[in-house]
Amino acid sequence: MEEQKKKPEAAATGEVTRRETFQKLGLGCLAAAGAGAAAFGYEYLSPNVLYEPSPIANAGKPDQYPSGSVTTLAEAGVYLIHGPQGFYALSATCTHLGCRTAWAAELGIIACPCHGSKFNTDGIKIAGPAPKPLPWLKVWVNDEGDLMVDTSATVAEKQFLRV
């Protein structure tokens, strides 16, 4: 009997009972878990879009490249080469560990400054740890007469674009 008398007294004096404390703690935990689930659910349902640059680079008009030239298109990571048989493009990414290579005009080679791989102007490895030659990339002329290079499309070696 005395326990029943204490409950109204605790409520009347503003004291919080043990049961009410656990109820509030449980509801708070449920609210936090629900908010977390809602946040992750929203992230899961929202579109996951990558904002990457286009793999297609415009290299300009073919007449701006003299025969025998090697031009670095730095923003695209490409070497555009105007050889005796026509235009072709090589990736500027080393096949060893993905470093950006550099054109050494005084030596006439493409060199990787990180690990020492060296390639000739056909992309063939002549020295260093690179396991494969530099890939040839797709080159074409668009409707406006500009050279276009697709960095995501490789082609077989010795495929030249004659303009």
| DSSP state string for the chain | -HHHHHHHHHHHHTPPPHHHHHHHHHHHHHHHHHHHHHHHHHHHHS--------SEEEEE-GGGS-TTEEEEETTTTEEEEEETTEEEEEE-B-TTT-PBPEEETTTTEEE-TTT--EE-TT--EEESS-SSPPPEEEEEE-TTS-EEEEEEEEE-TT--B--
Query: What is the predicted pLDDT for the residue at 7?
Result: 56
pLDDT at residue 10 in the model: 57
pLDDT of residue 112: 92
Estimate to the nearest angstrom the gap between the alpha carbon of 93 and the chain centroid: 13
pLDDT in tens, the chain (163 residues): 455 555 555 556 778 899 999 999 999 999 999 999 999 999 999 888 888 888 999 999 999 999 989 999 988 899 999 989 999 999 999 999 989 999 998 999 999 988 889 999 999 999 999 999 999 999 999 999 999 999 999 898 888 888 7
Q: Which two tokens stand for residue 60?
A: 């300009």
CA dihedral 116, 122, 123, 129 (to 10 degrees): -40
Per-residue confidence (pLDDT) for residue 22, from 0 to 100: 93
Beta bridge partners, 136, equal 90, 155
CA–CA dist 112, 134 (Å, integer): 11
- For residue 4, what pLDDT is reported? 54
